């Protein structure tokens, strides 16, 4: 039975009544199940370069698609990513559909919705696509609230959500053996702040200090990859979540950014430098408090030993310069 206008409007009302991403995702899945013949639905987050590249964000049933031929689902996802449009595959007694999801204009695919139904006509496919567009638009509104209003970078309240998502991915990824740690790819947290920022404000005024903050945010966008996530953590403190890479690549990115800051003309201040602390995100270190504690320890070491440099927590630990950080709210003891 076709969905009525009232039913569709009710679904839109349900979407816009939510303010949390998880609740919006649940509303999307519920609307698709209620308004279309789709009987199984899964919403996947997509990030190229990760293994696996997909993470389940929501589903109507944890057993959804388990009876489906895995090669058929893989082919559906591959075709959807390649053509970047709604993709339909017909099986002998049912239909599979994949709809790409974009959270911002001119951006790469950020997710895929997969659905299974006995049959889907063009009108029903259009309804699924329309619901996805509402979801995308509302996600953009939510994302705007997650930005620092001054720099446009993500604000600190987003960090926990991002780290939770990374932890979910790590839980599904194969574990690297110790001998391969230097060659394995991991996400990284890099925290940095401006050296002697109080002196800059005292000597040149807070308006000048604000200009320094804006210039640093601009340099971050120019230096780091679009796959890296950039935060203004507070005041003159910034944070970068590096897309999975080796330690050597993480060190190269960090040092390139420091060099770019050194090369930048900051006007009256002449010289502005930053100090950075970095740490690896792996299965052994996933809690926000532990990760930030590790990075802060490394940052403190960088500041106490000359500033204008990056220090990596793992290198300091391996060399015996520092001891393992234990967060107050962590249950494990070292």
β-strand pairing of 87-90 with 54-59: unpaired
What pLDDT does 333 receive? 32
Based on C-alpha coordinates, what's the Rg of the chain? 23
Sheet with 54-59, strands from edge to edge, namely 54-59, 40-46, 111-117, 95-101, 87-90
CATH number reported for the structural domain that contains residue 237 in this entry: 3.30.70.270
User: Residue 219 falls within a domain, yes or no?
Assistant: yes
pLDDT, average across residues 110-134: 91
Indicate the residue among 144, 178, 205 that finishes a domain: 144
Tell me: do 185 and 38 sit in the same domain. no
β-strand pairing of 186-194 with 237-245: antiparallel
pLDDT tens, position by position, 238-252:
999 999 999 999 999
pLDDT, average across residues 302-317: 95
Question: pTM (2 decimals)?
Answer: 0.63
pLDDT tens, position by position, 249-277:
999 999 999 999 999 999 888 789 999 99
Residue with more model confidence, 253 or 170: 253
8 A C-beta contact, residue 44 and residue 78: no
Q: Which domain holds residue 58?
A: 5-144
Tell me: do 246 and 310 sit in the same domain. yes
The pLDDT-based confidence of 226 (bands split at 50, 70, 90) is: confident
What pLDDT does 69 receive? 77
pLDDT, average across residues 300-308: 96
pLDDT, average across residues 194-215: 94
Tell me: do 63 and 89 sit in the same domain. yes
């Amino acid at each position: 039975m076709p969905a009525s206008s009232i039913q569709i409007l009710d679904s839109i009302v349900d979407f816009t009544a939510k303010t949390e991403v998880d609740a919006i995702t649940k509303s999307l899945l519920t609307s698709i199940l209620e308004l279309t013949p789709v009987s199984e639905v899964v919403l996947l987050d997509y990030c190229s370069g990760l293994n696996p590249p997909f993470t389940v964000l929501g589903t109507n049933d944890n057993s959804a698609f388990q009876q489906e031929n895995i090669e058929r689902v893989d082919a559906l996802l591959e075709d959807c990513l390649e053509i970047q449009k709604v993709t339909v595959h017909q099986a002998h007694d049912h239909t599979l559909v994949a709809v790409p999801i974009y959270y911002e204009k001119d951006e790469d695919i950020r997710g895929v919705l997969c659905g299974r139904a006995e049959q889907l006509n063009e009108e029903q496919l259009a309804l699924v696509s329309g619901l996805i567009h509402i979801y995308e638009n509302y996600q953009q509104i939510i994302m705007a609230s997650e930005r620092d209003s001054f720099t446009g970078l993500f604000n600190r309240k987003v960090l926990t959500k991002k780290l939770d998502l990374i932890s979910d991915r790590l839980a599904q990824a194969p574990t690297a053996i110790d001998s391969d740690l230097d060659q394995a790819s991991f996400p990284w947290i890099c925290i940095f702040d401006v050296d002697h920022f109080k002196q800059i404000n005292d000597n040149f005024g807070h308006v000048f200090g604000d200009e320094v903050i804006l210039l640093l945010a601009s340099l971050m966008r120019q230096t780091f990859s679009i796959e890296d996530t950039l935060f203004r953590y507070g005041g003159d403190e910034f944070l970068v979540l590096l897309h999975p890479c080796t330690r050597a690549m993480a060190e190269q990115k960090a040092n390139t950014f420091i060099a770019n800051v050194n090369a930048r003309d900051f006007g009256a201040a002449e010289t502005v430098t930053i100090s950075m602390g970095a740490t690896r995100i792996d299965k052994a270190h996933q809690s926000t408090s532990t990760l930030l504690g590790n990075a802060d320890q490394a940052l403190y070491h960088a500041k106490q030993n000359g500033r204008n440099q990056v220090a990596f927590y793992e290198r300091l630990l391996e060399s015996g310069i520092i001891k393992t950080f234990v967060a107050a709210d962590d249950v494990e003891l070292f």
